[in-house]
RNA sequence: GCCGAUGUAGCUCAAUUGGCAGAGCAACGGAUUUGUAAUCCGUAGGUUUGGGGUUCGAUUCCCCACAUCGGCUCCA
């Protein structure tokens, strides 16, 4: 007699041991059909796992996250099987499920080509149609090693050898293909129908650059074809929104081969957006009680020795330059400079909190292969700030910084956050007492904002705990921009102090924080989030006045000048072109307001606006419209 | 940095097996004076990323460099 308890608390009894699949069938045909695996007493198991004792069972369907992961994992095996059938010389290594899909790494004598990918995908469909059973087998470690050695799968042997000798190893067999795997897997290959191979790339064995480079084939897999299509559509959508493409189309910025990789050139229209971002940033920081600093882009290398960057950050720093018998370093960070300003005079406990912000441009050496549009560059501007305070002020300061962070992200249209709190790692500086106190302060600040957060235990930097905030864009992608970090290290290294109430010297607490992170990267994210259709307050051109014929030029120019006088970024298209042509052109440039001017408008000192959605608002008096646009821009409406 | 791919006019792309480098859009000139997503005609535009090599001859084949793309790696 076996009793199985289901997630809803109900129990089911069976006379003899049953498989997970049989339990699913006993509940309903629909469930049995959707089932891919089970979770028995918290452990993931196959559908044909035999339950021979009482326990809790949840049926995992392909619609669930866990089910999808199993499908992706099984699809990676399906791909490996296809590869082995087509190219027996290829050796299999590992093939896990990843976000939205899976990959499998192979060692093969030649690179896989796009044609190979098509062939592999075709073969995968064939194997799916063959509907082969996927069977779990178990054996002792040494037997498994011998088996894979016989098959010539050296990587598999290496993996298995790392497992304890007395442990039982599970294998999954489908057709002639056998793979070491913990499982679970779908019971038959016919469960796998909605997949597509996406790309092939190099990847090191065990992720170590000293090891042999393997070939990784990436694919995506879903529960059904509809979901697959939706995902492929999303990929297309993302490609359309690619900031590199939009940056070129809208003439916002460029990267230039002759200048070198990872160096960003902001064009006039991109600079307008940046100015709008910076203007908001400044306004918000003044309101939040910050002062501003401007500090140099380079300084004597000694400074970087003192800060310790030379020891632990050297790989990301450009080489120093030699000037007047001294070495100078272009800065990869702003913090040492802010500390120098702090050190330029004595400080009292009454000075705190000190909040200093700077749009600080930094230069970091990134591997050439890592460069990517505006997202990974070698020179960028941080919206950096450093707060100096006393221990007991930490919580208030962090709370204030979180306020500013959420306000800033919200203003740019990001309302969904994932918050991470990273705590003390094994190797760290600072006393346990201060770590505990600071970590608690961070946690309290997060709780004050009623934010859910994930604690990354031991994930903090060696110098202090931190809070990271990730935003979600309109395609559901997550980006980490904001970071708030405590630093118990730099104040020590630079020996910065303040005079306390007791007349003695004390060490201040230092907080680093950036809200947007890198302006370049944030701009790229905004560009993709809005697909180039910036909200009015950010748009490089907020309004474009369009003439019907040359006769309307005077009024059009006047409208443009009135808009500019009201503080709007306005232009006029006075060209001798048809109105349809102008509308098309400026719509493609994603200008939020197009103001058409013809005889009627000129007579009545009016305009006919067309908004971002393409709607013609009809004849409107200019004065009222200007008021409306100014309000829209000033309130930074999204 | 590593693996693979790519690099042709401002942009998007063509160019049999190595044989005079082309189109659309944009630019410029002219005509047209136009009412909500492309008016017509014409002109000009190139050291085919840079350097070297093979060849009678290289956009094409080879080598090196640079940049870009997809990944790996890194990410204080």
User: What's the pLDDT at A492?
Assistant: 93
Tokens linked to A152:
């010539």
Do A140 and A82 lie in one domain? The reply is: yes
**Predicted confidence (pLDDT) per residue in A45-69, tens digit:** 888 888 888 888 888 888 888 889 9
Domain extent for A344: 253-295+334-529
Boundary residue ending a domain (A11, A38, A61): A61
Q: What is the mean pLDDT of residues A103-114?
A: 82
Q: Which residues of A are catalytic?
A: 335, 364, 382, 384, 386, 466, 512
CATH of the domain at A627: 3.40.50.800
User: What's the pLDDT at A418?
Assistant: 92
A211 vs A32, more confident: A32
Quote the number of domains for chain A.
Answer: 4
- Flag whether A302 is in a domain: no
Residue A350's nearest CA partner among A500, A503, A495, A511 is A500
- Flag whether A305 is in a domain: no
Q: In this structure, what are the phi and psi dihedrals at residue A216, rounded to the nearest 5 degrees?
A: -105, 125
- Flag whether A603 is in a domain: yes
- Calculate the average pLDDT of chain A: 91
Asked if strand B comes closer than 7 Å to A550 Cβ, the answer is yes
CATH of the domain at A154: 3.30.980.10
**Predicted confidence (pLDDT) per residue in A523-546, tens digit:** 999 999 999 999 999 999 999 999
User: How far is CA A441 from each of CA A123, A191, A388, A461, A524, rounded to the nearest angstrom?
Assistant: 57, 50, 15, 17, 33
Is residue A388 a contact partner of residue A354, using CB atoms and an 8 Å limit? yes
Do A183 and A279 lie in one domain? The reply is: no
Return the nearest residue to B3, CA–C1'.
Answer: A202
- Flag whether A498 is in a domain: yes
- Flag whether A328 is in a domain: no
In chain A, residues 472 through 501 whose Cβ sits under 7 angstroms from any atom of nucleic acid strand B: 489
Query: Does residue A328 carry a pLDDT above 90?
Result: yes
Query: Does residue A552 carry a pLDDT above 90?
Result: yes
- Flag whether A525 is in a domain: yes
Tokens linked to A221:
């897999």
Q: List the strands of the sheet with A11-14, edge to edge.
A: A11-14, A2-5, A55-61, A35-40, A43-45
Asked if strand B comes closer than 7 Å to A561 Cβ, the answer is no
Tokens linked to A82:
């296809």
Asked if strand B comes closer than 7 Å to A262 Cβ, the answer is yes
ipTM: 0.91
Exposure string for A193-228, b = 16+ CB within 10 A, e = fewer:
bbbbbbebeebebeeeeeeeebbbbbbbbbbeeebb
Boundary residue ending a domain (A188, A212, A237): A237
User: How far is CA A249 from each of CA A119, A244, A269, A574, A585, rounded to the nearest angstrom?
Assistant: 36, 9, 11, 22, 12
Do A375 and A344 lie in one domain? The reply is: yes
User: What's the pLDDT at A108?
Assistant: 84
Alpha-carbon dihedral A124, A128, A130, A131, rounded to 10 degrees: 150
- Flag whether A311 is in a domain: no
Asked if strand B comes closer than 7 Å to A315 Cβ, the answer is yes
A368 vs A354, more confident: A354
Element holding A78 (H helix, E strand): helix A65-86
Query: Distance (Å) from CA A259 to C1' B48?
Result: 21
């Amino acid at each position: 007699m076996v009793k199985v308890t289901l997630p809803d608390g109900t129990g089911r009894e069976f006379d003899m041991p049953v498989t997970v699949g049989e339990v699913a069938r006993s509940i309903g045909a629909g469930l049995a059909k959707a089932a891919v695996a089970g979770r028995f007493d918290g452990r993931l198991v196959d559908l044909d796992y035999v339950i021979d004792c009482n326990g809790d069972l949840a049926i995992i369907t392909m619609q669930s996250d866990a089910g999808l992961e199993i499908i992706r994992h099984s699809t990676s095996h399906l791909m490996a099987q296809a590869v082995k059938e087509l190219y027996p010389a290829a050796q299999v290594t590992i093939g896990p499920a990843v976000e939205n899909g899976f990959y499998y790494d192979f060692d093969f004598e030649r690179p896989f080509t796009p044609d190979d990918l098509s062939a592999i995908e075709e073969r995968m469909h064939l194997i799916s149609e063959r509907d082969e059973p996927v069977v779990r087998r178990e054996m002792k470690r040494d037997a498994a090693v011998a088996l894979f050695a016989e098959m010539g799968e050296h990587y598999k042997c290496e993996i298995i050898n790392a497992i304890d000798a007395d442990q039982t190893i599970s294998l999954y067999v489908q057709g002639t293909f056998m793979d070491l795997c913990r499982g679970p897997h779908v019971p038959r290959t016919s469960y796998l129908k909605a997949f597509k191979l996406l790309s092939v790339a190099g990847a090191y064995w065990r992720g170590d650059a000293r090891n042999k480079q393997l070939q990784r084939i990436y694919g995506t897999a879903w529960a059904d074809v509809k979901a697959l299509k939706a995902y492929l559509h999303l990929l297309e959508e993302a490609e359309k929104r690619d900031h590199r493409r939009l940056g070129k189309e809208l003439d916002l910025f460029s990267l230039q081969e002759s200048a070198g990789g990872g160096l960003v050139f902001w064009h006039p229209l991109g600079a307008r957006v940046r100015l709008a971002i910076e203007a908001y940033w400044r306004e918000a920081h003044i309101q939040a009680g910050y002062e501003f600093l401007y500090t140099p882009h380079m300084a004597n290398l000694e400074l970087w020795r003192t800060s310790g960057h030379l020891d632990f950050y050297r790989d990301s720093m450009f080489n120093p330059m030699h000037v007047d018998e001294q070495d100078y370093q272009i800065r990869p960070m702003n913090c040492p400079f802010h500390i120098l300003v702090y050190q330029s005079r004595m400080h009292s406990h009454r000075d705190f909190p000190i909040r200093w912000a700077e749009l600080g441009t930094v230069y970091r050496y990134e591997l050439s292969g890592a460069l990517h549009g505006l997202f990974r560059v070698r020179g960028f501007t941080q919206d950096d700030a450093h707060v100096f305070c006393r221990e007991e002020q930490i919580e208030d300061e962090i709370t204030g910084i979180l306020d500013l962070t959420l306000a800033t992200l919200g203003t740019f249209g990001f309302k969904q956050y994932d918050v991470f709190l990273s705590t003390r790692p094994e190797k760290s500086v600072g006393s346990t007492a201060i770590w505990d106190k600071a970590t608690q302060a961070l946690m309290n600040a997060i709780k004050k904002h009623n934010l859910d957060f994930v604690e990354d235990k031991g994930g903090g930097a060696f110098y202090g705990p931190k809070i990271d905030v990730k935003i979600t864009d309109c395609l559901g992608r997550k980006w980490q921009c904001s970071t708030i970090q405590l630093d118990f290290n730099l104040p020590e290294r630079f020996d910065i102090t303040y005079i306390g109430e007791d007349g003695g010297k004390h060490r201040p607490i230092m907080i680093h924080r950036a809200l947007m992170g890198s302006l370049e990267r944030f701009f790229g994210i905004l560009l993709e989030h809005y697909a180039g259709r910036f909200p009015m307050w950010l748009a490089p051109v907020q309004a474009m006045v369009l003439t019907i014929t040359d006769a309307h030029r005077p009024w059009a120019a006047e409208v443009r000048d009135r808009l500019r006088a009201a503080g709007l970024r306005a232009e006029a298209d006075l060209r001798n072109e048809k109105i349809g042509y102008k509308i098309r052109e400026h719509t493609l440039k994603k200008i939020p307001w197009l103001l058409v001017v013809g005889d009627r408008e000129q007579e009545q000192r009016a305009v006919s606006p067309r908004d971002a959605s393409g709607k013609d608002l009809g004849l409107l008096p200019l004065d009222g419209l200007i008021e409306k646009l100014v309000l829209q821009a000033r309130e930074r409406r999204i």
